[in-house]
Structure 1
């Protein structure tokens, strides 16, 4: 009887050892499964059949989370401080004729020491219309308001102790120099905060050939553009 009991105990011990070995094998097998932590689109695969996975190497897969593509934009350090989260962005991807819309999602806290550029991440309203890796130009709207604007060519730079000025044309065609205060510059236009009123006529071009006191016959800019075409 004792021998039988000892044999039973030994057999049960062997069963437990076998079960532990099976559990260890199953654990190792589960560790071979690669499960994505999020849903998305696989944009890059570095894994190869038979290769050994390592945390120190390249990622096995690169996944676009939820299929959302965003723009990584490089911004000069002089403009970086004007940006805020949520600002509206107009994007023109290469190969796309129309403009896409987006918003500033993230402003990275550091500036590259070599290029002096900061990085901004912009989320897109229609991410399905672009592909990862495309180049795009972006315009970030940092401020918007209604006001009086002029072509940049109409504003003379500060000189000889005076600030910025424009050449205004009076009702009888006489040119006079007027000091102005400028605001936002956007491409070829500049905002006029003070010094002019709506309806004032100014010399938009060829200001170097006109002097205060000259009497001229101004041509509206629209007419001049049509004549040049």
Structure 2
């Protein structure tokens, strides 16, 4: 081999080594980015705990008025309201037939007028001997009795019109045209006052201590609709057989809230705000409890923690990272300390 050929071969070999070295460095730099694991990331927050309790129950009227007739023997002439109608207090619901009572009032009015006239003719005759005192008092008493009988019939006439005792929504109508008042025991109308329907939930005795009046709650209807409400009443009594207590959830007036329907309730958080982390971010191993945080460069770091109360999918951090720190959710066990990750933000449980 000539000297020139040997030098050319040496230069080519050196160039290949340089290019190979450069390519190796680029590959080394690119490798971490290409192998970074995608992880779900949430945040440590300052929030109230105490929620997460679930129960079920029935939708009930907060106050229900039952309407019927105080009179018997009168035919239903007209009906002015039906199920689903909204009525105001004092609004006519049913009109009973006035024909029979009108005739009785006319007859009684004539009798009362005659009795009053007879009483008037003996006025001033006391002690004069024209009539005995007993006859005079009898006429006066009869006039008063007939006037009272007329007043009673007139009062009854006023009650031939059945009116709503409260304003609200009619949820049941049990009266029919032509029906005779007093012939049955079924309520003529049931009215939910102001249309207010609540959920009466059965809650385990052990969970009642974590609930308080005013605490938010979310009611889920069978169709999937969700309604926001708040606790109005926590019963002071627990059923001795079922160990359940009643909790009433105040709800807004809505057309899809029907008394007698079924609902599930999830109670929101209550109490003082604490530093908390999503429950799925807690890592359990031989060294104790920890979370895996994610720094600004998307590097994972294991941080030991001490936990406190739990509720609604969250855990109180008695000791650990500060609020606002990003933490890996769910897949924390697969991220090692110092690993490069690809954060995928997720919405944690409310």
Q: TM-score range by the shorter chain?
A: 0.5 to 0.7
Contact 1:43 1:63 (8 Å CA) reproduced: yes
Of the candidates 1, 21, 39, which is equivalent to residue 167 of structure 2? 39
Distance 1:18 1:215 in 2: 102
Residues 1:166 and 2:290 aligned together: yes
Does 1:222 pair with 2:344? yes
Say whether residues 1:77 and 2:199 are aligned partners: no
The equivalent of 1:178 in structure 2 is: 304
8 Å CA contact 2:303, 2:320 repeated in 1: no
Number of residues of Structure 1 aligned to a counterpart in Structure 2: 211
Contact 2:303 2:321 in 1 (8 A): no
Tell me the residue number matched to 2:284: 156
Distance 1:37 1:221, change over 3 A: same
Distance (whole Å) between structure 1 residues aligned to residue 249 and residue 194 of structure 2: 16
CA shift in 2, pair 1:220/1:194, >3 Å: farther
Q: Is the 8 A contact 1:168 1:176 kept in 2?
A: yes
RCO higher in 1 or 2 (8 Å CA, sep ≥ 6)? 2
In 2, are the aligned partners of 1:92 and 1:138 still within 8 Å (CA)? yes
8 A Cα contact 2:291 2:332, kept in partner: no
CA RMSD of aligned residues (A): 4.4
Runs of 5+ unmatched residues, structure 1: none
Going from structure 1 to structure 2, the CA distance change for 1:109 and 1:47 (only over 3 Å counts) comes to: farther
Evaluate the alpha carbon distance shift between residue 167 and residue 27 of structure 1 in structure 2; reply closer, same or farther with a 3 A threshold.
closer
- Paired residue secondary structure (2:242): coil
Does residue 113 (structure 1) correspond to residue 240 (structure 2)? The answer is yes
> Normalising to structure 1: TM-score of the pair?
0.65
Structure 1 stretch 137-146 or stretch 4-13: which is displaced more?
4-13
Structure 1 residue 110 displacement after superposition? 0.7
Q: Distance in 2 between matches of 1:101 and 1:153?
A: 28
Matched with 2:194 is 66
Q: Is contact 1:41-1:67 (8 Å) kept? A: yes
Which whole-Å deviations, capped at 9, do the CAs of 1:67-125 have from their partners, x for residues lacking one? 1112212222122111111122222222254x322121111111122222211111123
Kindly tell me: are residues 174 and 31 of structure 1, through their superposed partners in 2, closer, same or farther at Cα, counting changes over 3 Å? Answer: closer
Q: 1:80 to 1:218 in 2, by over 3 A?
A: farther
Matched, 1:101 2:247: no
Q: 1:177 to 1:94 in 2, by over 3 A?
A: same
Q: Secondary structure of the residue that 1:222 maps to in structure 2?
A: strand
Task: Assess if the C-alpha contact under 8 Å between 1:154 and 1:205 holds in 2.
Answer: no
Q: Are residue 192 (structure 1) and residue 192 (structure 2) matched?
A: no
Give the TM-score normalised by the residue count of structure 2: 0.46
> As a proportion of its length, which structure holds more helix?
2
Q: Considering only CA atoms, is the larger Rg found in Structure 1 or Structure 2?
A: 2
Distance, in Å, in 1 between the alignment partners of 2:159 and 2:327 is 77
Secondary structure in 2 matching 1:63: strand
Gap regions ≥5 residues in structure 2: 1-124
Task: Answer whether contact 2:281 2:291 (CA < 8 A) is retained.
Answer: no
Please give the per-residue CA displacement for 1:33-68, whole angstroms capped at 9, x wherever unaligned: 7655422223234568446489xx776643211111
Structure 1 CA distance, aligned partners of 2:290 and 2:246? Answer: 38
Please say if residues 166 and 177 of structure 1, whose CA atoms lie closer than 8 Å, have aligned partners that are also in contact.
Answer: yes
Distance 1:141 1:203, change over 3 A: closer
